[in-house]
Amino acid sequence: MEWKNFDLLASYKKLQGLPVPDVKVLLAGKEGGERVKKLQAPMSNGFVYSYAAKQVDEDVLDSLQELADEAALTEKFAALYSGEVINTGEKRLVLHHLCRSQLGDAVIADGTDKRAFYVEQQKRIAAFANKVHEGQIVNEKGEKYTTVVQIGIGGSDLGPRALYIALENWARANGTLKMEAKFISNVDPDDASAVLASTDLAHAIFIVVSKSGTTLETLTNEAFVKNALKEAGLDPSRHMAAVTSETSPLAGNPEYLDSFYMDDYIGGRYSATSAVGGAVLSLAFGPEVFAQILDGAAAEDALAKNPDIRQNAALLDALIGVWERNFLGYGLTAILPYSQALARFPAHLQQADMESNGKSVNRFGEPVAYKTGPVIFGEPGTNGQHSFYQLLHQGTDVIPLQFVGFEKSQMGNDVDIQGTTSQQKLSANVAAQIVAFACGKDDENPNKYFAGGRPSSIIAGDQLTPASLGALLAHFENKIMFQGFVWNVNSFDQEGVQLGKVLAKKVLAGDTDGALAAYSDLLGIF
């Protein structure tokens, strides 16, 4: 399989010469309505990807199909899930898809069937969670645990936290909220202090998540928690569990109720469907709910195998993003979920996208001459409308928008006010914003003039459930993967997070001079 820089492909040069369709014209009048009905790519679990408000026409789409074919994007996906060494920076396989399904033949690594390994960990977690819920695993006084607290940072926090928040109200409404979940991530002592102050320590399980068992922030917070438990007269070993690798110092350690395992083939930002997310979510909602998340992700992964971009929403979304980044010059993308349950989903995607494709060298360590990953930001609607939408509508930069919307609310608790429900009002805002961004508004007063021509897509679904949440997660993971393939970068390492850690350790060791010493003094570290 050939890995070539994007700008060496024939399709790159073809895309450079294409005229840019005017979305303001494309969505106007009756023809605009027909375009919206036509330009939709199927997804699983009740979703559809609508791209009618994007600056694409049949010529652009055909050229993007040529790019997908020339760059062998679905073939590279097949190589990934079949166990080839796709993470060239760390010389590792990339196997997060195996946590939810076997997409190809069995993957054997380190003498182990990796799908069987991940399933075994899921079963161990499910058994542990069930015993906790049934009162077979209890605290020192024989009482049931009521709260689970995850201690981790980066991918060990953002993904699981986003998924928990997304389903907390759904679980309340459906009677599946088994335990409240909380999260400690920041090494700032105020983070751990605030969580501990609001937690009944005697009835809490703390899950320490660190693949290596050496992550400074996580181990610091673990020590902080253990100290609080001891001060409360509690035995930390009756309140701690671990998610780690089989070779870490946390593995099989008697200081924990149990240890669950992941491996080097699942990166932190892709670990929400592994034991990293499985332990906390199974304890919070029950293992059956976590299994539904996995099923939703698996269904979306299967669709990502389709080489036809018009039938592969993740691939199409990725390619339209490449069109916008490399040929239209847009450097940012806003993620705008019109669901309060997805409040932390943009934060998770910030890490997943920018840590993956924020690279300036290709898979072989050579500089690239084109733009790679965009800046990702976002906020739930309608809050964002009263925040940064001013810049999105009338600012000097055009920023592509990715909306997510649902027909039904999660909890089913709504009321008719002035002839419409709250959910109808929410959805009306989504529809209005898409058209307002695309079509704008003429006005003689410059302050009230909207240029329009601002592109967006929407992933529209029936309701946010465990399965649809899994599908949504997999869609964005696969979109990021396909874009990394196009840009010929290694989307699965994260060297950019390491330098600051190294220098921080030098500061704490007192090994500083120059600017590093001066800033240390400014912050009063010693």
Which among 104, 100, 30 is positioned nearest to 299, based on CA atoms? Answer: 100
Q: Is 408 a catalytic residue?
A: no
Alpha carbon 16 to chain centroid, angstroms: 31
Answer for the pair 204, 145: CB distance below 8 angstroms, yes or no.
Answer: yes
Instruction: For residue 268, give the 3-state DSSP assignment.
Output: helix
**Distance separating alpha carbons of residues 363 and 397, to the nearest angstrom:** 31
**Distance separating alpha carbons of residues 212 and 263, to the nearest angstrom:** 9
**Distance separating alpha carbons of residues 20 and 23, to the nearest angstrom:** 9
Q: Is 4 a catalytic residue?
A: no
**Distance separating alpha carbons of residues 466 and 290, to the nearest angstrom:** 7
**Long-range contacts formed by 226-233: CB under 8 A, 24+ apart:** 228/196, 228/201, 229/201, 232/201, 232/202
Which among 309, 30, 345 is positioned nearest to 158, based on CA atoms? Answer: 345
Selected catalytic residue, list 230, 501, 505, 506: 501
Q: Is 133 a catalytic residue?
A: no
Cβ-based neighbours of 225, under 8 Å, separated by 6 or more: 149, 151, 184, 192, 196, 206, 236, 240
Answer for the pair 471, 44: CB distance below 8 angstroms, yes or no.
Answer: yes
What is the total residue count of the chain? 526
**Distance separating alpha carbons of residues 356 and 519, to the nearest angstrom:** 30
Cβ-based neighbours of 290, under 8 Å, separated by 6 or more: 122, 126, 277, 278, 281, 282, 466
Which among 482, 486, 454 is positioned nearest to 55, based on CA atoms? Answer: 454
Alpha carbon 171 to chain centroid, angstroms: 21
Selected catalytic residue, list 386, 441, 448, 505: 386
DSSP assignment of 296-309: HHHHHHHHTT-S-G
Give the pairing type, strands 332-337 and 420-421.
Answer: unpaired
**Distance separating alpha carbons of residues 155 and 206, to the nearest angstrom:** 17
- Peptide bond just before 382 cis, omega within 30 deg: yes
Q: Return the bridge partners of 67, or none.
A: none
Answer for the pair 478, 484: CB distance below 8 angstroms, yes or no.
Answer: no
Selected catalytic residue, list 217, 324, 355, 477: 355
Q: Record the tokens describing residue 430, joined without a space.
A: 């989504």
**Distance separating alpha carbons of residues 164 and 174, to the nearest angstrom:** 15
Which among 380, 383, 384, 388 is positioned nearest to 410, based on CA atoms? Answer: 380
* Residues marked as catalytic: 355, 386, 501
